[in-house]
Amino acid sequence: MSSLREVAAAAGVSRMTVSNVINGRHRKVSQATIDKVRAAIDELHYVPDAPARSLAANGSRMIGLVVHHPDERRSLLENPHDAILVGAVERAATAAGFSFITDSSADVVATARALGSWRTDGLIVYGSVADEVNELQRTQPRPLVFIDNYSSDAQVTGVGVDDEGGGQLAGEHLLGLRHRQIAFAGPLGSARGVVARRLAGLRDAVDAAAGAALGPLLDADHEPGSAARVVEQLLAAPEQPTAVVAASDVLAAEMVGALLDRGVAVPGQVSLLGFDGVAAGRWIRPQLTTISQDIEAKAAAAVELLTRLIDRDPTAEVEPPPRQPMQLVVRDSTGPAGAGPAGR
């Protein structure tokens, strides 16, 4: 097993410099030196001693990820977005020289408290709502970074994507294909949050287009049978939409199957578009048009922001990054406005 002395020799620096890099004291080291030390660590397969790092850094050098997971009967990793996010946070934390621990439950406040017992230096919280933000900020002594949170509290430090802009992209794409009655499907219960912002952006695009209308709004989640239920509602709607925007690619993919099972051509009679850009959208036929986000970049931004909060000069302010733009990825599930489901 390699030693810290061997890493220092390979990088051509002192042992104290290696210790500064390992323990995140990057203000004392140039980026070029950090890169040399990390290269030597990789080459020698050096594994720092965790207790020694904690003592040296006066902390654990561990980041915790709290994930809101309302249905604990089902695996967190069933949701492709969440699976990608957890893996990306872990990779970014490791690259930054931190250990990583995660936990999920319906109660993010209790989960954050549990992770805090591991002496984590900071927490990333994904899937929280405004009341939970207030409670977390009140009870957590460590730095917090929130992912995809739309709390109006100016003190919330977070990262996310431009969900409202994504909704506008979805609307503009379908309107450009001459769709004038556009439905939306997703969990509609949240007054604020990701789904509400995506719907708001879609509404803005539709409202700005002459002769276009939004509806019906279909309340759908990821429970088994939800997609089939909303497709039945869609087919029974008095206003016959020629396009549907689903709040996620998973829901959109399930709805494609439910429409095809009922003899409705996609996109010949109904165009369908999803959100997030997960791989499942490429696996189905027709392949899914989507409003894609860079989940890896979002996770990396959260880790980078949290590590700056952990290692910052107490007198310096840390500005969160702007929300990342979403991108339209056009595939086969959207096309020119057709007859609608009633014309089958």
Please give the pLDDT value at position 35.
Answer: 87
Q: Given the DSSP bridges, would you call strands 158-159 and 213-219 parallel, antiparallel or unpaired?
A: unpaired
Residue 95 neighbours by CB distance under 10 Å? 12
pLDDT by residue for the chain (344 residues), tens digit each? 678 788 888 889 888 888 888 776 776 788 888 888 888 888 887 776 655 554 445 567 899 999 987 666 666 677 889 999 999 999 999 988 898 999 888 888 888 888 877 788 999 999 877 677 878 878 878 889 999 988 776 567 889 999 999 999 999 999 999 999 999 999 987 656 899 999 999 999 999 999 999 999 999 987 778 899 999 999 999 888 999 999 999 999 999 999 999 999 999 999 999 999 999 899 999 999 999 999 999 999 999 999 988 887 555 677 788 899 999 999 999 999 976 676 54
Residue 117 to residue 332: CA distance in whole angstroms: 49
Please give the pLDDT value at position 231.
Answer: 95
Please give the pLDDT value at position 55.
Answer: 46
Residue 319 gets which letter from DSSP? P
Residue 269 to residue 320: CA distance in whole angstroms: 44
pTM for the complete prediction?
0.80
Locate tokens 């999920």: which residue?
A: 104
Residue 93 to residue 101: CA distance in whole angstroms: 10
User: How far is residue 213 from each of residues 131, 207, 285, 340, 344, measured CA to CA in Å?
Assistant: 34, 7, 28, 14, 22
Please give the pLDDT value at position 79.
Answer: 83
Residue 104 to residue 124: CA distance in whole angstroms: 12
Locate tokens 């969160």: which residue?
A: 320
